[in-house]
């Protein structure tokens, strides 16, 4: 759309369309959702700035999701609590979400992450009884269902959330969507739709509130 206006502006000034109505909305860089059909092993390398753009050509704030094994350890750990404990993050197959926002700071990223995890619980609750959220983790009983981290890059903020499909290999007691009969792709699409809609709704709320003294 921008291109259209550029060429109009510069070379065919007479052709600027007069909008029919008073309100005239152009496309913008909306948050995008990108489903990756191939399996990807998550190793922590995916949690870096512009990984979504470089890998899939999707520009701007985005959430990408894919299924695949998980194996993060040593230097690749971003959470220094895990690193200090020499923990690793492993599972045979998880549904991974990588989120990148190009505005805000690390506190925003952590708040958005908590909201994303809350929403994952909202989506899953009907299908998994006994599901509970503790901070950025999901549990069923004492078994861990998910892992998550939020961090900052030089140009953006990033979130990784992964929900076990098959928890085999996890270093702690864990469970997976498979054993609860949850379709991981259906779950993912509902979570993504909800997160993108919530992001949009918060953007509108930001622009329709007055300050107070």
Site for its own copies in 100-159 (CB under 8 A): 102-104, 106-108, 110-112, 114-115, 118-119, 121-123, 125-126, 132-136, 149-156, 158
Tell me how far, at minimum, the Cβ of 7 lies from its own copies, in Å.
Answer: 9
Contact 158, 150 (CB under 8 A): yes
173 binds its own copies (CB under 8 A): no
Which residue from 40, 42, 50, 89 is in contact with its own copies, where contact means CB under 8 A?
A: 50
Site stretch for its own copies (CB under 8 A), options 42-50, 89-97, 165-173, 174-182: 42-50
CA 208, 24, 33, 159 torsion-angle sign:
negative
Q: Is 40 helix (H, G, I), strand (E, B) or coil?
A: coil
Centre a 10 Å sphere on the Cβ of residue 31 and count the other Cβ atoms it contains: 18
5 binds its own copies (CB under 8 A): yes
Asked if 172 touches its own copies (CB under 8 A), the answer is: no
User: Is residue 183 near its own copies by the rule CB under 8 A?
Assistant: no
60 sits near its own copies (criterion: CB under 8 A): yes
Cα separation of 128 and 160, whole Å?
Answer: 22
Cβ contact 1:57 at 8 Å = no
Nearest to 137 by CA among 172, 93, 179, 103: 172
Nearest approach, Cβ of residue 144 and its own copies (Å): 14
Eight-class DSSP state of 45: T
Q: How far is the CB of 17 from its own copies (least distance, A)?
A: 8
Residue 43 binds to its own copies (criterion: CB under 8 A) = no
Pairing of strands 137-140, 157-166: unpaired
Count how many residues are written for the chain. Answer: 213
- List the one residue from 71, 87, 179, 198 that touches its own copies (CB under 8 A): 198
Q: Considering the rule CB under 8 A, would residue 181 count as an interface residue with its own copies?
A: no
């Amino acid at each position: 759309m921008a291109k259209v206006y550029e060429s109009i502006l510069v070379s065919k000034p007479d052709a600027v369309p007069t909008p029919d109505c008073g309100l005239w909305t152009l496309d913008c860089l909306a948050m995008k959702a990108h489903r990756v059909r191939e399996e990807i092993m998550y190793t922590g390398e995916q949690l870096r700035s512009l990984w979504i753009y470089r890998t899939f050509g999707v520009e701007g704030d985005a959430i990408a999701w894919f299924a695949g094994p998980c194996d993060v350890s040593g230097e690749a750990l971003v959470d220094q609590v895990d690193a200090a404990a020499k923990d690793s993050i492993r599972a045979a197959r998880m549904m991974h979400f990588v989120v990148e926002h190009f505005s805000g700071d690390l506190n925003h990223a952590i708040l958005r992450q908590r909201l994303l995890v809350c929403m994952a619980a909202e989506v899953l609750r009907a299908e998994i009884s006994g599901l509970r959220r503790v901070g950025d983790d999901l549990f069923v009983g004492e078994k861990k269902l998910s892992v998550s981290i939020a961090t900052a890059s030089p140009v953006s903020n990033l979130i990784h959330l992964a929900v076990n499909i098959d928890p085999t290999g996890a270093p702690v007691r864990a469970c997976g969507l498979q054993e609860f009969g949850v379709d991981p792709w259906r779950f993912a699409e509902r979570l993504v739709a909800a997160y993108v809609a919530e992001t949009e709704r918060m953007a509108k709320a930001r622009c329709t509130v007055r300050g107070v003294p």
